[in-house]
Amino acid sequence: MIIFYKGKFERIKQTPVKELTDDNLEVFFDPTFLSELRSDALKKELLKSIAWQQNEIRLFGKWITEPRLSAWYGDEGITYAYSGLALRPLPWTNELLQLKNEIENVSNAKFNSVLLNQYRHGQDSMGWHSDDEKELGKNPEIASLSLGVMREFQFRKKADHTIKHKLLLPHGSLLIMKGATQHFWQHQLPKRKRVNEVRINLTFRQVFSNIQEQ
């Protein structure tokens, strides 16, 4: 059952499946999208089979090492650029393709790629940003699947950084950001000193750019 509610973001945790529209923040959240058994098996398989790597990105004019591991999979012939990186996708695995199809059925959106991030412990993180690159088109829909230890996900309004919301993302949960969310809000996964377990995040998206051969 999907419930619509206009109000404070924290109240999204009160029902198993919910959709929220709040001042251009449009989010769908299902904390039990995958069963615990399947989530456990999927986490184990992805840790073993994904071609994880640690990238160098350009931030505020300096090259830094990303505080996480990542990998990019998707359709042939697309590229995704951010922070000085131009990513070319690896071919879909059977597991990733099955997840893509299941999430498309829930979201009614189409995705041609997935960015995977592995947060090895609480010192691995993702800073404030919006997924608003031109390759994602207008009002991109981003579907985010979480596996592993529960971490806190935060939103803040671009026009007023004092307006913030937070949401705990448990093992097997699905968060979908849609509408104008990326234009008016930023999100992050902050560091947490007491976290010593792995979290994997899969963000499915539609990329519209083509690879330009050098």
Instruction: Supply the pTM of this predicted model.
Output: 0.85
Name the most confidently modeled range: 24-28, 30-34, 94-98.
94-98
**CATH class of the domain at 36-142+192-214:** mainly beta
Task: Look at residue 160 and tell me whether its pLDDT is greater than 50.
Answer: yes
Q: Using alpha carbons, select from 56, 27, 60, 32 the residue that is nearest to residue 187.
A: 27
Task: Look at residue 8 and tell me whether its pLDDT is greater than 60.
Answer: no
DSSP-derived letter for residue 53 is B
What is the Cβ-side half-sphere exposure of residue 84, based on CA atoms within 13 angstroms?
A: 12
What is the domain partition of the chain in residue ranges? 36-142+192-214
Task: Look at residue 10 and tell me whether its pLDDT is greater than 80.
Answer: no
